[in-house]
Amino acid sequence: MSAEAAGEALGVPPAGEPARRPRRYDPDRRERLVATALDVIAEHGVAGATHRAIAAAADVPLGSTTYHFSSLDELLAAAFTVHAERVAGALEGWMRDVPDQRAALDALARHLADDLLGNERALVLAVELYLAAARRPALRAVTQDWMLRSRRALELHFDPVTARELDALVEGLVLHQFLSTDPMTPEQVRHALFRITR
Amino acid sequence: MSAEAAGEALGVPPAGEPARRPRRYDPDRRERLVATALDVIAEHGVAGATHRAIAAAADVPLGSTTYHFSSLDELLAAAFTVHAERVAGALEGWMRDVPDQRAALDALARHLADDLLGNERALVLAVELYLAAARRPALRAVTQDWMLRSRRALELHFDPVTARELDALVEGLVLHQFLSTDPMTPEQVRHALFRITR
DNA sequence: AGACGATGTGTACGCTTGTCCACGTGATAC
DNA sequence: GTATCACGTGGACAAGCGTACACATCGTCT
């Protein structure tokens, strides 16, 4: 029995041809690529979010990324859109489920402590988006929409001026948390929120 | 007269050898590279701040950048250090020159309006630094020091808790200005600052 | 004055990148 | 049942990258 015949019998191609992976049925690969892109950005930054890195993390061949997205920018935009949508939706949820301003502040403080400040991944993604948006018009629209939705959500319980100041304060708290080695405690965050509204 | 002889007479090398630029006397090229690096970062981002881009902007040969800085990271760190030093120094100056808390708030509002919010370049450099610091330990130290100096400067006129909240609010206001198409007016900024301190 | 080392200059190398292409293959529409 | 085309797969390509290097030149120190 020749080596080749043995190889073929096992479905293993001869040594010269390096093995072609069998075709997979993978109907929502596109969505998976978007989700994986977010993972890669969170871990390695936009700078490290290359076609190859994303394809490897999603376990698809390189060509697949350019098949589903006409450019890398388009893939990144899709990813950031998903992220912004998710975070904006969370804040809207909190604000909708709460009866009055007092409860809104409580909810906001809890939301910050639980979903944002403790969540390194969300922090990184937010800052990555901010910076990426500075130079890519397509992403500008994403941040604009996100900011608008956040402010609208806050305006369910606060007047527009307060909502805007609160929004900016939250942004600053998040960013400081991101940068600081000496993060604020949930109580300090609470204190700041209550202080600017009264 | 041969073409070669004519060329040599004019100091122009023969067509085959593409002209070597005469050596320049350029004693503070190193500082100029740092300043130029900041320009390039402001215009094209850290991602666009390559050896070649910086060398071209500073009008020096490529090899000169690797002679003066052992790596690109070292050059970027030097550049960001200069920027942070400059901005921190400005705030310290404002806070030192002012007698009481009321005047400090006024100065802070003016500083924001004049030196930060209207200054796209400073805004971009700050955010670029924040993000770059997230992944480069050497830059973490730069942002840490900057934040610490800012807070110390504010503590000349505010108690530590207020100073910290004020610092975060300023950060948020700056970032929102950076992202928003609908920026806050100086009066709105003033209002927010005064509100969180009372 | 002469040497020498710091600095200026141009270029080469190996690597990674985004994008494109040629070619299978099987789910789906008729 | 068959044709079609959307999708999967692997590899090629030119461009740009950080870095290293060989060599030129001129302040400076003795």
Q: Supply the CATH number for residue A111's domain.
A: 1.10.357.10
- A175 vs B130: CB contact, 8 Å cut-off? yes
Q: Count Cβ atoms below 10 Å from residue B30 Cβ, excluding itself.
A: 15
**B36 domain-assigned:** no
Residue B128 CA to residue A132 CA, distance in Å, equals 10
Q: Report d(CA A3, CA A16) in Å as an integer.
A: 12
Instruction: Give the one of B134, B135, B179 whose C-beta lies nearest to A143's C-beta.
Output: B179
Looking at per-residue pLDDT, the higher value among B2 and A83 belongs to A83
Would B159 be classed as within a structural domain? yes
| Total tally of structural domains belonging to chain B | 1
Question: How far is Cα A170 from Cα A177, in angstroms, rounded to an integer?
Answer: 10
Locate tokens 């969370």: which residue?
A90
Sign of CA dihedral A190, A110, A118, A138: negative
Q: Which of A143, A164, A176 sits opposite B168 (nearest CB)?
A: A176
Q: How far apart (Å, rounded) are the C-alpha atoms in residues A25 and B173?
A: 49
* B144 chain-A contacts, CB cut-off 8 A: 179-181
pLDDT for B178: 86
pTM: 0.90
Q: Cβ distance B188 to A144 under 8 Å?
A: no
pLDDT single digits (tens) A120-162: 899 899 999 999 998 998 899 999 999 999 999 999 999 999 9
A35 in a structural domain: no
Average pLDDT of the segment spanning A77-89? 97
For residue B171, the chain A residues in CB contact (below 8 A) are 171-172, 175-176
Residue B52: inside a domain = no
Q: Tell me, what's the pLDDT at B10?
A: 38
b/e per residue A99-132 (b: at least 16 CB within 10 A): eeeeebbbbbbebbbeebbeeeebbbbbbbbbbb
Q: For residue A6, tell me if it sits in a domain.
A: no
Is residue B91 a part of any domain in this protein? yes
How confident is the model over A4-49, as pLDDT tens digits?
333 333 344 445 556 788 999 999 999 999 999 999 999 999 999 9
**Looking at residues B74-102, what average pLDDT do you find?**
97
Using 50, 70 and 90 to split pLDDT, how confident is the model at B38?
A: very high
**Helix segments in chain A, DSSP class H:** 3-9, 29-48, 51-58, 62-68, 72-96, 101-111, 120-135, 137-154, 160-179, 186-197
Q: Is nucleic acid strand C under 7 Å from B22's C-beta?
A: yes
Q: Report CB contact under 8 Å: B191, A165.
A: yes
Between the CA of A13 and the C1' of C25, what is the distance in angstroms? 18
User: For residue A182, is it within any domain?
Assistant: yes
User: Which residues have C-beta within 8 Å of that of residue B191, sequence separation ≥ 6?
Assistant: A161, A165
Quickly list H helices, chain B: 3-9, 29-48, 51-58, 62-68, 72-96, 101-111, 120-135, 137-154, 160-179, 186-197
Q: How far is the CA of A25 from the C1' of C28 (A)?
A: 14
Give the pLDDT of residue A20: 85
**Tens of pLDDT, residues B91-136:** 999 999 999 999 999 999 999 999 998 888 998 999 999 999 989 9
CA distances for A160 relative to A127, A165, A197, B107, B136, angstroms: 25, 9, 12, 26, 39
Q: Is A24 helix (H, G, I), strand (E, B) or coil?
A: coil
Domain span at A159: 71-196
pLDDT attached to residue A76 = 98
What pLDDT score was predicted for residue A8? 39
Give a yes or no: residue A131 inside a domain.
yes
Q: Give percent of chain B above pLDDT 90.
A: 78
A80 neighbors A129 (Cβ within 8 angstroms): yes
CA B179, CA A122: separation in Å to the nearest integer?
A: 18
